[in-house]
Amino acid sequence: MKEKTQLQKPAKAKKVSRSFVEKLFDLQNDIDAISKDTTNPFFDSKYFDINALIHHLKPLLKKHGLILHQPILDGKVISRLSDLNGEYIDSEIDLPPIDNPQKIGSAITYYRRYTLASLIALQAQDDDANMTEENSKELPWLNLGTKDFENSKEKLKSGDISMSDVTKHYRVSKAVKEKLQFNK
């Protein structure tokens, strides 16, 4: 009999103050959609790497006074956003019963990515099996902290390209546009 794995539990939180909810609100408004820029060769699909996601989030978490924790407790992968007052909100997934350390490591990485994405309501281009050809022609998001962002910033700074050149190749959020123009 195959065991059923619970994929996502609703986020849970201590009673939080308005200021904590405001921090979350401001964080969500500052987060750009993340491009799925890592390829899974087994399924010929793209995903966003957990390390790239955390790299993208760190400056925003700092800006809003939030801390990310991703412990494994009681057989669950937990993504927790907290502040210095001890207020927090969690998203968690039960780990499947796997004996192979490499497979459990992969599951932990996968679950860290998805609990975090769920917790912060992260937008990502859906390129899974049912992606339409029309959607696949959408431009990718230019994300802070990526090689593409750094290259664009340098080329803008040197005058090799204009902002309209950038927007021909990428979708650019207001926050990223401000960072690109600020660094001229």
Residues 96-115: tens digit of each pLDDT:
998 899 989 988 988 998 89
The per-residue pLDDT for 42 is: 46
In this predicted model, what pLDDT tens digit does every residue of 121-144 receive, in sequence order?
876 544 443 343 344 457 888 888
Asked if residue 23 and residue 53 are part of one domain, the reply reads yes
Task: Answer yes or no: are the C-beta atoms of 110 and 138 closer than 8 Å.
Answer: no
> In 17-173, where does DSSP find H-type helix?
18-30, 50-63, 101-119, 133-136, 147-158, 163-169
Rounded to whole angstroms, what are the CA distances from 6 to 9, 65, 99, 121? Answer: 7, 31, 18, 19
> d(Cα 151, Cα 139) in Å, to the nearest integer?
17
52 and 38 Cβ atoms separated by less than 8 Å: yes
Cβ-based burial of 140 (10 A; exposed 0-12, middle 13-18, buried ≥19): middle
pLDDT at 77 over 90: yes
Residue written as token pair 């801390």: 67
Provide the number of structural domains found in the chain.
2
Same domain, 73 and 43: yes
Cβ 24 vs Cβ 81: under 8 Å:
yes
Considering the domain architecture, whether residues 170 and 92 belong to the same structural domain is answered as: no
Contact between 119 and 91 under an 8 Å Cβ cutoff? The reply is: yes
Position 85 in a domain: yes
**Domain around 29:** 12-119
pLDDT at 48: 62
Question: Is residue 143 located within the same domain as residue 106?
Answer: no
Residue 166 pLDDT more than 50?
yes
Identify whether residues 109 and 161 lie together within a single domain: no
Q: What SS3 class is residue 184?
A: coil
- Whether residue 112 lies inside any domain: the answer is yes
Tell me, what amino acid is at 137? Answer: K
Q: Taking the model in full, what pTM does it have?
A: 0.55
Please indicate, yes or no, whether residues 91 and 20 belong to a single structural domain of this protein: yes
Give the residue from 62, 43, 68 showing the smallest Cα distance to 127. 43
For residues 121 and 145, the answer to whether their CB atoms sit within 8 Å is no
